Homo-oligomer: A and B are copies of this chain.
């Protein structure tokens, strides 16, 4: 251990750790030493007593977890939170979201991204995978607020070849920026809005440039049924045919993945992952949820996500963690499936892998980036603690996160946001809402017709 002061020392907490089999355990009375943005060591509180540090956080009664990862969202869509309620998917897209998005300005994206980042930092999210428009603006907000992000400029084939080119240009220009906190992906929207030709070209570009791909696919059973009726193959088979399963591919939702897709996914040469955002599937009354048990059986990581707040109403990954456990038990008809420890494995290592950061985040261990959240379990709703994993997944809430740290930098301390000014953002966004939500023009950016 170095003798110069550590950058940050967190003492007295319980630390969620993974053993060499990736089983989750808890080190009590521990301390975390952070240097140069990384975890240098996890030691005992007693051993940390004499350590010098530039910044100290006394965290008794708190649990240190790897920061949550929102593996699929559209951060700026918080501006549309609550605007399209209680609608089927098609009306949600065609009658509200896509008409409103035709009004979207860079300023709206900026304010939406700021608000979303504030919400995520307060909810213990330290990294998010975003798939949206005007992503230069989102990248600037990420740089400023200190979060980690995996960003992709979304495109439809209706934009012509410029869409794909812009997505590539964005991915190459921003890759590794914000001191390495920004990683990038190519971001075709979905097989139902991007042609086979464009999907194949995207796969080629991904391999050529060493970029991952992030897209929506097999979002729901309707899309799978329509694909089968129109093309004779499923959306996953469309991806395979286009060569996308040879890339590092993050698939959003996948509730329409069916049995015949599983061998296709299993023999993929790329690293495939799926992001699940179960709240929205319930709200849209989709007949299925992400088939996590089947995906796990073929080794595919499933990360937790919220989707955008226009469908999910929040960016609360903590809620996604609890709902994933509950909905999986219910769907599989098996109360022993998706235990709290399994849910925490999804929330940590699997989510890190889903966004291509399986080697650098997702656990609190020497050498990993210091993306850490401290959760207060002294509230009456989290006491007593008979099973800490269950307390975290089923009793604690995102509001119990007191401190959020990314790359060793404290972004929220004792619930105070240090890098974003929420009232200012809300005020400025509020002035822009009438223009943003106007649908009198009759335009939409795209048509939903799977």
Does A423 interact with chain B (Cβ within 8 Å)? yes
CB <8 Å contact, B82 and A387: yes
CB <8 Å contact, A397 and B395: no
State A208–B314 Cα separation when bound (angstroms): 51
Shortest CB-to-CB span from A293 to chain B, Å, is 13
CB <8 Å contact, A313 and B394: yes
Does A287 interact with chain B (Cβ within 8 Å)? yes
Does A60 interact with chain B (Cβ within 8 Å)? no
State A271–B118 Cα separation when bound (angstroms): 47
CB <8 Å contact, B430 and A335: no
Which of the segments A8-16, A25-33, A324-332, A361-369 contacts the partner chain? Answer: A324-332
Shortest CB-to-CB span from A204 to chain B, Å, is 38
Does A105 interact with chain B (Cβ within 8 Å)? no
Does A139 interact with chain B (Cβ within 8 Å)? no
Residues of B within 8 A of A230 (CB): none
State A426–B381 Cα separation when bound (angstroms): 11
Max chain B C-beta neighbours (<10 A), residue from A334, A378, A390: A390
CB <8 Å contact, A329 and B283: yes
Residues of B within 8 A of A329 (CB): 86, 282-285
Known contacts A118-B380, A329-B282, A380-B119; is-contact A386 B83 (Cβ 8 Å)? yes
Give residues 327-356 of A contacting B (CB, 8 Å): 327, 329-330, 332-337, 339-340
Contact of A314 among B88, B381, B399 (CB under 8 A): B381
Shortest CB-to-CB span from A277 to chain B, Å, is 12
CB <8 Å contact, B83 and A316: no
Does A438 interact with chain B (Cβ within 8 Å)? no
Shortest CB-to-CB span from A18 to chain B, Å, is 20
Contact of A82 among B283, B390, B423 (CB under 8 A): B390
CB <8 Å contact, B285 and A330: yes
Shortest CB-to-CB span from A15 to chain B, Å, is 19
Does A446 interact with chain B (Cβ within 8 Å)? no
State A255–B86 Cα separation when bound (angstroms): 24
Known contacts A380-B115, A384-B426; is-contact A283 B79 (Cβ 8 Å)? no
Does A162 interact with chain B (Cβ within 8 Å)? no
